[in-house]
Amino acid sequence: MNLQNILKRLPIKITSYKPISGGDTNKSYVLQSEEGNFFMKTNSTKEFPGMLREEAKGLKSIEETHTLRTPKIIKIDDSGNEQYLILELISKGEANEEIWENFGKSLASMHKIPQPFFGFSSDNYVGRLPQKNTKASTWGEFYTQYHLQPLIKKLTDMNALTNQEVRAAENFYQQIDDIFPKETPSLVHGDLWSGNFLISDTGNPVVLDPAVYYGHREMDLGMTRLFGGFSVDFYEGYNSKYPLEKGWEERIPFTQLYPLLVHSILFGNYYLDEVKSILSDF
């Protein structure tokens, strides 16, 4: 990836830049300019077509709810071999009980806004994998056909699942609409783990790297529990604003099945064992 070619295409004059480690898909940099400092991520347009444009669209969708804060989008360009997304650089602060509680309330406020269908206006990505967001009328239809089945098939093609495990997945599909409470579709972040938010120096939670769609709100809550890192005050704040239906914690494995399938494909055995454990109940 030719960074100098990208820098020449930028709408701002860069005085210096610093690479940031982390991430297996993008190369990331802090850009310094006379107009201020910015964050930039880049990757291959050919390998990940539309990825950064869809990320920007997701950030914009969250911003337009006026609930959770997102970084301001400065520039998106996928016209060359290397696509780039430039965002406002957020200075980090520290969380406290009140900030965690407000974070939960803000997520709940976003989830309370009714959406017209399950799906989204376009497909996007979750991690490095394409994410289908075709419109569906029920949560069970959407979750099954567009999120779970494609990944189960991919793992089956990799000889990672037995016939019995595939049948268990099919049994689960049939029960989704009975397992999950019937709720209006919500805009969900789609990848809300502790690495995809930060607390700004002004005490605001800022969400990053979304994989948005209109889905069941418990998907975001389940994702917050997958790797930990969220305070109990976050959940108390959420429930004070938009109480979760009874049994939501027992449903967490069913919300985590999707990200665990994603991680099984990308990273392998540990996550695959977790998938198999969930499917064993069916």
Q: pLDDT confidence of 10, banded at 50, 70, 90?
A: confident
Domain boundary among 59, 88, 117: 88
Which CA distances in Å does 248 have to 73, 128, 188, 189, 253? 34, 28, 16, 18, 10
191 assigned to active site: yes
Residue 191, both tokens: 């990848």
Q: Same domain, yes or no, for 173 and 81?
A: no
Looking at residue 228, its pLDDT comes to 93
Chain centre to alpha carbon of residue 9? 28
Looking at residue 1, its pLDDT comes to 56
Instruction: Write out the residue range of the structural domain in which residue 55 sits.
Output: 3-88
pLDDT exceeds cutoff 90 at 7:
no
Looking at residue 25, its pLDDT comes to 85
Q: Same domain, yes or no, for 105 and 68?
A: no
Looking at residue 32, its pLDDT comes to 94
Domain boundary among 88, 115, 148: 88
Looking at residue 166, its pLDDT comes to 98
Q: Do 73 and 60 meet the contact criterion of CB atoms below 8 Å apart? A: yes
Q: Same domain, yes or no, for 24 and 153?
A: no
Domain holding 224: CATH number?
3.90.1200.10
Domain holding 83: CATH number?
3.30.200.20
Q: What is the pLDDT of residues 148-169, one digit of tens each?
A: 999 999 999 999 999 999 999 9
Q: Which of 78, 157, 178, 191 is catalytic?
A: 191
Q: Same domain, yes or no, for 73 and 205?
A: no
Q: Same domain, yes or no, for 147 and 25?
A: no
Q: Give 247's contacts (C-beta < 8 A, 6+ positions apart).
A: none
Q: Same domain, yes or no, for 78 and 118?
A: no
Residue 29, both tokens: 């940099």
Q: pLDDT confidence of 175, banded at 50, 70, 90?
A: very high
Q: Same domain, yes or no, for 58 and 180?
A: no
Q: Same domain, yes or no, for 194 and 221?
A: yes
Q: Same domain, yes or no, for 102 and 191?
A: yes
Angle at CA of residue 219, ends 218 and 221, nearest 5°: 60
- pTM given for the model: 0.95
Quote the percentage of the chain above a pLDDT of 70: 99
Report the C-alpha gap between 51 and 44 in whole angstroms: 9
Q: Same domain, yes or no, for 262 and 134?
A: yes
Q: What is the pLDDT of residues 189-239, one digit of tens each?
A: 999 999 999 999 999 999 999 999 999 999 999 999 999 999 999 999 999
Query: What is the total count of domains within the chain?
Result: 2
Q: What is the pLDDT of residues 12-63, one digit of tens each?
A: 888 999 999 766 789 999 999 988 999 999 999 999 999 999 999 999 999 9
Q: Same domain, yes or no, for 150 and 247?
A: yes
Q: Do 80 and 44 meet the contact criterion of CB atoms below 8 Å apart? A: no
Q: What is the pLDDT of residues 95-143, one digit of tens each?
A: 999 999 999 999 999 999 999 999 999 999 999 999 999 999 999 999 9
Domain boundary among 88, 116, 144: 88
Q: Same domain, yes or no, for 53 and 184?
A: no
Nearest to 185 by CA among 211, 213, 214: 214
Q: Do 210 and 62 meet the contact criterion of CB atoms below 8 Å apart? A: yes
